Structure 1
């Protein structure tokens, strides 16, 4: 298990040279089908959860096959984090997000290695179905199958039998869980995940940022021959993301491939968390574009350009840390996190920052005369058609320049008004009335 970003699990299954590859593909699919059966036939039927009347959880999956590099992210700022670098993980995540509930999508690299009987379970996506995926992937065929049509009836029975002990353990664990033992504490300092757990959670007002490198998956050669080069580039990206989030007193939640999720909570003594959030977005926009000027990176990218898309939202969040033993992941639960994800995933074009209407309305409601930074933000976020979302392409340097220009403009207006009223104001804000007197030699 690589990590659990929200409701998605990233699972890495290393190939074993001593086992026939086609059989390993079957085993990997069996693991995937087991996840569906566990969710649909065990988790959704836990008595303690069904009594609340919540809708059932649904699973959809994506799989690919190829080479990768195991990598420990150390951005010099945050706790190190394990990941893998390679098109195989990126591709699986991309197609998973488009697969319908209870379906598995696989790429042709995976399909071609399957034993013949399993290939018959999959059908190629139609032109209409694959249309949305084309901008996300290099030329690849995508195949689909409903999870309960992949394996034989006998294999299904074997899996269900194997899960009996899990079913018993999960129900016992659910019955032991006492919600009254779970605490949701307020946050008075910068959010720290290290002491959080299932029982100890934090609740705070915060901004959520999702930032993703655009088109990075398509930079991988289909043969995986440029893994080393892109591994070097990812280290530069991770360093940039970690340092930039930390500069604005944000907290990294997770790296998700070429994406970072961070929160900027409101705490005493800090700058307005909304400004810290948006300044981080502008700094990331500038810093990632700046990496293109690095000759080593430019050469390794074969003169392609790094581009970033950023989504930001604000609201109440719950922060927790979940997992088993030492394998735990930082998790944030909130509508703000979902909104930031939508802003980035659906609406943020290359080198753009996107926010929703609620956030934009808050910016508009701030007195721009008291805080010129809000006035600049209000003037530079523009509506994306009639979607209810707003975008901005400012870098941090451009933002600072506009603030400086507004300050000079404001100072000039004050000076003109003062002169017209016969009043001069010094740097300390003290006023003195002056008048025009005749000159005497």
Structure 2
């Protein structure tokens, strides 16, 4: 396969707002119009080697790079698909994607793969809303999202990632039943050599991070954010990556081909491992539990971009609150449905007293309140407190509706018992052998 080209699908318009190039996107996806389609994308802070890494992935897939990286063809160069250069000036702007797919054979059959590069975050030229829009759109388009981190995972990295992921999840489900799939935390220039590199190094680092967080102040929020990511993504992993070598790190202001021999040996070996991790058992994007084709992905991106890339899109603070409200509403509805299903099963074979059913209700309600208190939650403390009260109220209302006939039957039984006791008392008050006994029994 020849050298891949990149096409920009998201850029700034003349009025300064981000704009999706629908024609460019369609021209890219037309090759995969009726074929299962997947996208691997990379996001993260500016000037931390995102484009360099994604270029290596493309060459790995298209030019048998593994042989080159493992020591052969040392004098060969890597022609970049996505523009790359060293220095501190931002290079990638908006979102770029490979112009044609790379067909991979998977367990599910052939999948057409596209690779996507995104504008670096957290610079003085990118507004908060632009970062929200870029990351949200990239997340929605990705079968595998690689979040590029430098040396370590910091609390603000996880905070931003969780926030953006929740927005993407909300926007996607607003259009249809979409699902996020795979998240890889790529830790670049990993300094903890004693932990090793690759997947195992990433696992050990995450374990140490969780331990450190449990012992530090303010760790609960970070821990909750990590749990949120694990719930939003079916697969979350970390990969520890060594530095690429001094020649690559120094880079150049000019765009020059990179020679294989300039890349550090450890980096070459681990790059091969990473690329296998990203592409082995790769699944196409899913929409309503069905694989997306190029056509359905195109329609889906257009619908989502209408919600994301508009002046009507709330600012980050408002959107965060909206997403939090949506999450709380969804959680409450889920808790009520779960309670209702459980109580229906109980009532199918319930013949005891109403007081016994009340005990079951209190037990089920307490269980769901405890569950709400334990899980990681998204929203302000006052909203969470209100949600807790609302869960109790909703469950009590459900109990009132569902237990009506049980309460009526129980009250009827109580009236019958009271009536029997009154009859017994009256009989005891009538003297034995009294002429009135027969008359009393007839009246009763």
Report the TM-score range of the alignment, normalised by the length of the smaller protein. under 0.3
User: Which protein has the bigger helix share?
Assistant: 2
Instruction: Output the TM-score relative to the length of structure 2.
Output: 0.26
| Structure of greater Rg | 2
User: Which protein has the bigger strand share?
Assistant: 1
Which of 1 and 2 has higher RCO (CA within 8 Å, sep 6+)?
A: 2
